[in-house]
A = this chain, B = another copy of it.
Amino acid sequence: MKTLGIGLLGTGFMGKAHTQAYRSIPIYMGDINPRLIAIYGRSPGKTRDVAEKYGYLKYYTDWLELIKDNGVEVVDNSLPNFLHHDPSVSAAEEGKPIICEKPLARNLEEALDMVRAVEKAGVIHGVIFNKRWFPSIRLAKKLIEDGVIGKVSHFRFAYHQDWASRSRVMTWRFKRKLAGYGVLGDQGSHVIDMIRFLIGDFSRVLGRSRIALGERFGEDGAREKVDVEDVITILVEMENRAIGTVEVSRFSLGRKNYFTFEIYGEEGALYFDMERLNELWVYTRAPPEVEGFKRILVTEGEHPFYKYFWPAGHTIGWVESFTLQLYYFLKAVEEDREYSPNFRDGAKVNAVMDAVYESLEEGRFIEVKEI
């Protein structure tokens, strides 16, 4: 079994998810063995504890040292948005494969700089859009590609959570300088990537946004200003002429992880809700007597990826999307193949988000830049 030495940047929520994924790969896939070489975090105490708990052999409080560690064969950047660029570029410069959390960058320019760095270095690169790896999403992709729902005509995508309405604490996620975008970058980047994945490239966009809570409390208890949106609604036009709506919010009470879509095509329709991520609802034309949306539990051995997991009906959780995404990234590294979604895909999402931001200023449709 091929082994690959992992260097992980980040000890937070994403660091935990990625580590659980790496440790699961031998059980589920079993043809590659990620070795947990080193982890980076700012705080020495916490990072040492996390390293021990998660099973990393070393820890660093300087990310560049981790990247340069000879045992580290793959760099995983799970740091906050404002630390996506520099460590990712450094990894590329060191000639190491790099996979980076979404959104790739805080704006298109920063993203394009990252693209140039990895392309110049010739390293394998990827960006985390884990939702592409739910078996239900892959089934949706397959059904669209097979023409089962026909040409896509119109759609609704939404991603609602309510966590930001439950806390008044200031974090980097509420500051444009650190996050680049508000909820658009945090949750919305998933939506935009998913629309690209399932439907195609964007043509024009127009958004309207709100800050739901204008001030939050910093660590020292001081009030600080929120300068990025909490709620955003967008009209989109695709290059293939499909039109759609997008809603993204972290202030939608009662919705915990409601990433949902309805896609209408000329021959059928799809419905998905990530709170029930093992399911896909599919409508296709049928004799009128027996037509209706079918609730497919995407857990058969015949479903995408499910052979790795369990017998039918034994559902997987959210984290297994990382297991799949990281597994396929390691396979690409092992086989020295291009990977998708990569930094260019990530930059395309930034291009859409920047166009949305411009539309907020202009109050009219903005063309998405080609890159």
Q: Chain A: residues with CB nearer than 8 A to chain B?
A: 1, 13, 16-17, 19-20, 23-24, 26-28, 30, 52-55, 139, 142-143, 149, 153-154, 156, 158, 160-161, 163, 165, 206-210, 212, 231, 233-235, 237, 241, 243-245, 247, 249, 251-258, 262, 264-269, 274-278, 282-283, 285, 287-297, 299-303, 310-320, 363-365
Contact = CB atoms under 8 A, between A and B. Distances in A.
A235 B233 contact: yes
Query: Which 4 pairs between the two chains have the least Cβ-Cβ distance?
Result: A257-B313, A256-B313, A254-B283, A317-B317
Given A251-B153, A252-B154, A257-B313, A292 B297 contact: yes
Integer count of this chain's copies in the complex? 4
Contact of A243 (B210, B266, B293): B210
Given A253-B265, A254-B269, A13 B311 contact: yes
B257 A312 contact: yes
Contact of A247 (B245, B274, B294): B245
B275 A249 contact: no
B275 A289 contact: no
A229 B289 CA distance: 29
Contacts of A316: 317-319
Contact of A231 (B23, B153, B256, B365): B153
Contacts of A363: 364-365
Given A26-B54, A54-B26, A253-B285, A161 B313 contact: yes
Contact of A154 (B23, B55, B247, B254): B247
Contact of A294 (B55, B206, B290, B311): B290
A215 B322 CA distance: 43
A260 to B, nearest CB: 10
Q: Which of A24, A267, A277, A315 has the most CB of B within 10 A?
A: A315
